[in-house]
Amino acid sequence: MASLICFFQTDLKALVAYSSVVHITVLLGAIVILRDSAIFLVVILSLSHGFVSALLFLVVGQIREMSGSRSLIIVRSGVE
């Protein structure tokens, strides 16, 4: 469901947030498996998710500063 919301999202900050929800559901699916390799991968994916999500929010903030909007439609059109 959250993947569909991501597909139609025009706000960049909301897009990053909903993609985090999708990522967490993947992690929960891996936890359900309860194997040693799955738990190891959950730890690695959680750390990388935290790092990448923080960077994406910083990028969205920079885009907002440069374009004056978080709207994906305005950013795509190249309006400054």
Output the pLDDT for position 31.
85
Tokens of 43: 């730890």
Neighbours of 46 (CB within 10 A): 14
Output the pLDDT for position 58.
94
| Tens-place pLDDT, residues 24-80 | 888 888 888 878 788 888 899 899 999 999 999 999 898 888 888 777 776 666 555
- Domain positions in the chain are 2-77
pTM of the model: 0.74
Asked whether the beta carbons of 71 and 11 are under 8 A apart, the reply is: yes
3-state secondary structure (DSSP) of residue 71: strand
* CA-derived radius of gyration, the chain: 15
